Every structure is written in C-alpha cells, then in structure tokens.
Structure 1
Amino acid sequence: MTTEAPGKSSTAQMPPKVPLPTWVQGIGFLAARRGVLRACRARYGSAFELEVPVFGKLVVIADPAMAKQLFTSGAKTINVQPNLGRVLGSGSIFAIEGTDHRRRRKLLTPPLHGKRIRTYEQIVEDETRREIASWPTGKRFASLKPMMRITLNVILRAVFGADGDDFDDLRAQLPGLVEAGSRSATMPELPRVLSGVDPNARMRRRREKYQETILRVIGQARRDPNLADRDDILALMLQSSYDDGSVMTDEEVADELLTLLAAGHETTATTLAWLFERIQRHPAILEELSAEAQGDGDEYRHAVILETQRSRPVIDFAGRHVVADDLEVGPWRIPRGHNAMVSISLLHDDSEQFDDPERFDPSRFVGNTPPAAWLPFGGGTRRCIGAAFATMEMDVVVRTVLREFRIEQTTAKGEGLHSRGVAFAPRFGGRIAVQRR
C-alpha cells in the first residue's frame, strides 16, 4: 500500500498497514507494545494500521495535530472503546457517551477541581508522613509499594471521609482488582477451560466482591442523617443532581467510585515511583528539587512532575472507536468499526515535539505551558477528570518526602519498563535509598 497522502477528497485512504500476520502483530503488541510501535513509526510514519486482539483493526496516531482532530471529533463520529466499560462498569464516565457523558462530567467535576481539592491536601500529607515514618535509611527499597499504599489510603479517605470495616475490606480488595483490571483491559477473552488463569475471569470475580461491599457502603451513606454536613466525595456525589433534578443510581455511583479508586490510585502511585527512580540519577535536578522543597516554592517541583509524565508515561495510549461512516484525521480516512489510538509514548518521545527527548530535563517545562503533544491525561472531552487531584497529590507527596529525607544519588543504570497490562511501572519498583534529615 502506498503511503502517499492523497489529501482531503473522496479518494482519501487508510494509513499504511503493517504487513505482518495478525498473530505476530498481536503477540508483539501484548508483549512489547512500545518497542513495536516505535519500530512501526520509524518505518511507516506518524499513522499506521495494526490488527491486534481486543482492539481489532487499529489505526495508531503519533502526530499532535491528528490527535487533536481525533479528540475533538463529536459523539456522532467516535465513541469510547468498549473494553473500558467491561473493566470499570457500564456506569463509569469512561463508558458512557454523548449527552450522558457531558451531564455526568458536569456533575462530577466540582469535587475534583479548584478550591475543593485543596481541602484534601492535609490528607495527602498525613498519609505520606504515616507511610514514610517506617522507611529504612541507607538501604535500597522499592518505592512503588509505599506509593501505592499512600495513594490508596488518600483516595479512600477523600472518597469516604472515614475508616471502618468496609473501608478495610476495600483497602484489601482494590490492589488485586486494579491489577486484574489493568491486565484485562488489554487481553482477549480466553476459553472457559482457562478461567483459572484468565485475567478477565479474575477481574469479574474481584469486581463482584467489590460491588457487594461498595453497594453496602453507598446504602449506609444514603441513610446517614449527617450526610449534608459531610465533604467527602461520596457524600458530594449523593447530594448532587443533574439539571433536571435526577440523580445517579447506586450502581452508577459504584462504577464512578471504582473509576476514581482504581484509575487514580495506580497511575498516580506509579508516576511517583518513576519520579523517584529518575531524580536519584540526576544530581543537579535532585539538588534543586530538594532545596526548593525546604521552602514554599513549587515551580521546579511541578516541572519535574511534568517531565516524569512525559518521559515515563504510565498509560501510553488513548483510544476511540469510529461509529460514523468514516473519521477524517490529517490526510487519512478511517472507516466505521475501526479503532483509532493516540500513542502517548510515541508523541512524548518525538524529537520534533520535545528537544532531545531521551534526556530527563525538567527545565523544558519551567515557565512553559506543556505543548499539545504532552498527553499523560489524554485529551478532549475525555481527558482524565481527576488530573487536578492527581497533580496536587504528587506535589504534596514529593514535597513531604524531600522535607523528611535526602535521597541518595546513584550511578546505576535506569530501570526499564514493566508492563502491568495497561500501565507501565519501573521494572524493579523504583528502588531508592534515603537518609533522614
């Protein structure tokens, strides 16, 4: 197939198709997605077609202008990929479409933005201090698990506002559910005989247990005589209503809570582990970041967070499903039934978008707004609704850790990628060594 773009006309065509057997593409995509996508971009350019399990016929996009065109296409042209609803539930904001999606987003935005999220800063600091109080000094350890515990406890307290037996149950359930869901999102259904090792079957079993617990918690909250005085996210959800006065059902609330608990918990913790993995290998960056943390500044810390998200994106794609006769992106037309996926990792690694992209360099973001190619939270109307909350949480965790500890420098080779399904974590968990100040 020719790669020449014919322009916007009736003769417009699909991007070049990778001419390998479907099973080869599938194994490569599941086992080494980022390496496969880099090789395809080098050979076929900023848009190409694959055919892989779960995603089917898939057009990969690695151009910011085409990504924006995809993200801003209306609901009559694209919708969300159905596997998100399979993992998070049909009532999740990631699974609903059109008017329903706009209404739900408007309903959920206030608790996660602006002045409201500042009320959760003390929770983040408290949970960070509680976790790091037992950190060993002078001994290397994986930072990912402590970060997972911090972010899980933060989101549980922010969502529910209190502790108790049900919250202990959720604290025990969620890590396994998140891991199973992350793997399920990129895996096809396996035959029933393999249900014992099928992440989809494991995810469904864990989700049923979650549903039983969370519906009990929601029922208790609805009966709480002091509900109107509470400021946790669950209470705000239950007291919110659409413009017509209707409210979310318990099942819809349960799906939205899972979206917040699962998506917000894993991605934020993994980004933090990557940040600590990175800064210990860059003495000048570590020194400037640590010095700033002793005062009231935050500009450089924010830049380090942005650069970590650029250089080590935890989620490396954002996809849509074509429901119109075709979707026009750049010089290409993608027909109905295909999926279109923006490769966040390819955009973040593009030297045309970021000078010397292999270099970890927070200064590129100091005093600068991230460019259109920076997409760790996705884009368009489906940009992560919890982005502001996650950014606040990372800022407070890093500041608190650096006020209590000096992170030891290392000359060891940087950690590679470990696939957790959808998410990519440091291969050895972001190992660090610290000294108490």
Structure 2
Amino acid sequence: MSVSSVDVPASVTGEPAGTLLPPGTRLPMIVQGLGFLADRRRMIQWLSRRYGGATLLRLPIFGNLVLISDPVLAKQLCSTKTDIASNIQPNLGRTLGAGSMFALEGQTHRRRRKLLTPPLHGKRIKGYEAIVAEEFAAESATWPVGESFPTLDPMMRITLNVILRAVFGADGAHLDSLRRIMPALVETGSRRSTLPDLPKFAERLNLQRRLAGHRAEYDAVITSLITQGRADPHVHERDDILSLMLQSEYDDGSTMTDAEIADELLTLLAAGHETTATSLAWAVERLSRHPEILADLAAEAATDDNPLRIATIHEVQRSRPVIDMFGRHVVAEHLDLGDYRIPKGYNVVVAISLLHDDSEQFADPQRFDPQRFVGAKPGQAWLPFGGGTRRCIGAAFAHMEMDVVLRELLRHFTVHTTTAPAERWHSRGVAYAPRDGGKVVVTPR
C-alpha cells in the first residue's frame, strides 16, 4: 500500500495504566477500514513489513485490534485461557446463529465441542469415504473433456452433497431444497460476516435482510427434518450426524434444543463445505502448474498409499490458506502477550497467511513444495484451521474429503498442466478462492 502514516506510540493516551500496545498507523479508522475491506491481504502484508510481528489497527465492526504474525505470539495466544481471551467479537455467530459453536463461550463451548466431536473424528469419518467417492464420480461425469473449466463450483457441489448425506443420511425433497438454498445462504453469509450493518435508510441494501430470507427457508426445511428425526422409531439405528445430535446428551443428561441443532447443522453445512471445496480448487490450480509433483501424485494414487497426497494437502493449505485469520477477544483486565500488555475489549487477530509465508518457519515459502511435509508434521506456524480450544472441529473431516477427492481425480483423470500464471487471490467475504475458480483441463484415463 502506498499510504503515509504516523506511528501510534506503544503507550496510548486514554488506555488503562500499564497498557503497552504495539506500534501502528494513525490513519483514521474509516480509512483503515476501507483499506481492510478493499484488499485486506495487501494491507496486512504492508503492516507486517512496516511494523513487524505485531501492529495496532482500529477497524469498523472489530474496533481496537492487534494484528500478530509472529509464530511465538500466535502460539501464546492459542494457549491463553478462555477467561482471559475468548472468541473474537463479533464472530460468525452473527451469521450462523446464537446456538452455533462459533457463538458459544467458555464452559458452554467446551460442553458443545465435546458433544459434537465424535461424529467428526476417528473411525466414524472413515465410513464417509465411500460417500465422497460416489459424489465425485457423479459430479465428474458431467465435466467437459479436453476443455478448460473452473473447478470451484463442481467442488462446491461435491462437498455440499457429501456433508448433506453425512449429516442427514438420506436423500429426498428436503435435501433437494437444501441444495438449492445453501449456495446463496453461504455466499451471502460469508460476505455479510465482514461487513457492518447499514443504517436504517439503506436497509433494503443490507445483506442481513437478504440473509434473513435465506435463513427462513433453511429453518423451515431443518425444522421439518428435526421433527421427523425425533419421531423416527429407528433413529437409534442411524449413524448420520443429525441422528447423533438428537441422541447425544451432555454429562448432566440434558440435550440440545431444536434451535441449537438448527444452528449447529447450519455451521456444519456452511463452514463444512465451502472451505474444503475452495481448498480443492486451489489444489487443482497448484498441481496443474507443477508437473513433477502431479506425476508423483498420479503414481501414488494408483496404490493404497497417501503420504505425498497428505503432504500436498498440507502444502496447499500453507501456501493458499482459504481462511486468512482468526482471533480472540480480551475479556480479562488485560492480556500479556510477549512484551505487550493489551487491555480489555481489544481483539487480537492472527494473520494466518503471514505466518505461512514466514521464511524462518518454512524455507523458501513462495515455492510450492509438498516435500517439506513428507514424514514431518506441520509446525506451530501452520494454522489453516485456527488453533487452541477453537480450532476447527471439522479439520479431520475436511482432510478426509480432500484426500479422497484428489485420489479419485488422479486415478480416473489425467490433469493437464499449464504454463499460465498463477491465479490471483479472490475474496469471497470470509474465504479466499482462486480468481478464475481453479481452471483445469482433464481427460479420462
């Protein structure tokens, strides 16, 4: 960014005694907000170059904010107790609902997380692999042969159908309605999450108004499905996620309400398919520009092994993180973070994309190199799913989906390479996708 600024002193007048904040720009909040909205990737890169691993921002919606790109500070933030720093405010709960795990805090969040973890981990997700392969086969049968096409929308359809089948365990008119409703709901919700609500005179242009319409359609379908599930005498024989939610009990014997289930299902449907599909589109974009890696992966896909494929997934998520930041909100009188003392009411945000571009953590970070993860677990600076107590609960499910889709793609298609420049980043609101949708040319094997 080519703007001039004056550094904000580390001690800011008007803050509590003992406050020690990192440096930052004195540009007006509205100017900072417009820069963040127009191109937050370039803005945080500029801030990092100018101020280092921690800088102060003042933004609409999020208010006073400390942006960190130092892996040591990021690790410290992730391990901070929730009675000192809780979930960032505002958060995705304003889009997904008060009953979503994104909106819950403290003990309530821990109880819900414990309740919902089993269906998304371990042996249970192994049972969903066949669903992923089936949905890939059905969608890929429609792909144009020998012609360039964007993969983002097809991947969206695959991952949405997978999560719908995994959540509800069946097909039918209700699920057809959700297939129609969810794409618009997710797109509107993603954009609304990064924008303030407009004043009353502009209410007709407010994304919240459009989102409420989509949500009303969703609630009508989900309420019917929950009612059917509660009345199903064979619900105990089912293994879909909805039936598990209906049967699950907290330690005290209480259960989730219908409204809470609706919000959590929306969280799974929205957060559980768009990010995975976008990562898959990025994977295709990256592999089509790296023929040697692509050839090695194709050879591996002919076997039952997957270490290179898993390493490739890690490298795609490092080099092209779909979600570029996560954060916490200081709820104690202050948060001590490195040399800084951050007062109550501030948000502290980790810039994932800057951590992933750290040359001290990842050698030659601009190079796409899955070998860096072969036989090695990602380090503390690799945070595509966030970290700490609020790390994405669906990370294992997402990796399973990506693994199966890439395996099936490489087994059944030849992915043609290209010398075209890398696709640019495109903001879809919360997520970053390849600007051209991850275009590719494939032919059947």
Partner of residue 358 from structure 2, selected from 330, 345, 350: 350
Contact kept, 8 Å, 2:61 with 2:90, in 1: the verdict is: no
Matched, 1:370 2:415: no
The C-alpha deviation readout for 1:245-265, integer Å capped at 9, x for no partner, is 110000001111011000011
Picking from 423, 426, 430, the partner of 2:434 is 426
Partner of 1:196, secondary structure, is helix
- Residue in structure 2 matched with residue 232 of structure 1 by the alignment: 240
Counterpart in 1 of 2:71? Answer: 64
2:53 aligned with 1:46, yes or no?
yes
Verify: 1:320 aligned to 2:340, yes or no: no
Q: Aligned partners of 1:289 and 1:228: how far apart in 2? A: 41
Q: How far apart in 2 are the matches of 1:199 and 1:425?
A: 21
Q: How far does the alpha carbon of each residue in 1:329-367 deviate from its partner, in whole angstroms, 9 at most, with x for none?
A: 111111111111011011011111111111111111011
Candidates 4, 17, 31, aligned match of 2:24:
17
Which residue of the partner structure matches residue 7 of structure 1? none
Distance in 2 of aligned mates of 1:183 and 1:342: 20
For 1:242, the equivalent position in structure 2 comes to 250
* Cα separation, 2, equivalents of 1:358 and 1:68: 23
Question: 1:195 deviation in Å?
Answer: 3.0
Stretch deviating more after TM superposition (192-201 or 71-80): 192-201
Conserved? CA contact 2:29–2:59, under 8 Å: yes
Residues of 1 paired with 2:205 and 2:410: CA distance?
Answer: 41
2:100 is the alignment partner of 1:100: no
Q: What is the match of residue 159 of structure 2?
A: 151
Distance 1:135 1:55 in 2: 42
Whether 1:331 aligns to 2:328 is: no
In 1, the alpha carbon distance for the partners of 2:355 and 2:337 equals: 16
Which residue is 1:206 aligned to? 214
Query: Helix, strand or coil: the match of 1:433?
Result: strand
What is the identity, as a one-letter code, of the residue corresponding to 2:30? W
- What's the offset of the Cα at 1:96? 0.6
Partner of 2:417: 409
Deviation, structure 1 residue 12: 5.5
Alignment-mate amino acid for residue 78 of structure 1: A
Q: CA offset at residue 196 of structure 1?
A: 3.3
CA deviation after TM superposition for structure 1 residue 200, in Å: 2.4
The yes-or-no answer on 1:278 pairing with 2:281 is: no
Instruction: State the alpha-carbon separation in 2 of the partners of residues 415 and 283 from structure 1.
Output: 16
Q: Is the deviation greater in 109-118 or in 206-215? A: 206-215
Distance 1:172 1:195 in 2: 25
Q: Are the aligned partners of 1:187 and 1:200 in contact in 2 as well (CA < 8 Å)?
A: no
Counterpart contact for 1:310–1:374, Cα < 8 Å: yes
Return the match for 1:192 from 200, 205, 219. 200
Q: Does 1:109 align with 2:117?
A: yes
- Quick check: 1:3–1:44 contact (8 Å CA) kept in 2? no
Q: Deviations over 1:224-246 (max 9, x none)?
A: 11101100000011111011111
Distance 1:171 1:316 in 2: 27
Task: Confirm or deny: 8 A CA contact 2:190 2:429 kept in the other structure.
Answer: yes
| CA displacement 1:64-103 (0-9 Å, x = unmatched) | 1211211222221122123321111111111111111111
SS of 2:180's equivalent in the other structure is: helix
Match of 1:174 in 2: 182
> Secondary structure of 1:360's match?
coil
Which secondary structure does the structure 2 equivalent of 1:163 belong to?
A: coil
Partner Cα separation in structure 2 for residue 315 and residue 343 of structure 1: 9
Find the aligned partners of 1:196 and 1:435 in 2 and give their Cα distance: 47
1:130 partner SS: helix
Using the aligned pairs only, state the percent identity.
60
Aligned to 1:394: 402
Q: Distance in 2 between matches of 1:332 and 1:296?
A: 50
SS across alignment from 2:335: strand
TM-score (norm 1): 0.97
The answer to whether the 8 A contact 1:12-1:331 is kept is: no
Contact 2:115 2:250 in 1 (8 A): yes
TM-score by length of 2: 0.95
CA distance in 2, matches of 1:2, 1:337: 19
Q: Distance in 2 between matches of 1:358 and 1:197?
A: 40
Aligned length: 432
Cα offset for 1:2? 4.8
One-letter amino acid of the counterpart of residue 81, structure 2: G
Residue aligned with 2:86, SS:
strand
Tell whether 2:205 aligns with 1:163. no
Cα gap change, 1:331 to 1:250, in 2 (>3 Å): same
Contact kept, 8 Å, 1:22 with 1:52, in 2: the verdict is yes
CA-based RMSD of the aligned residues comes to 1.2
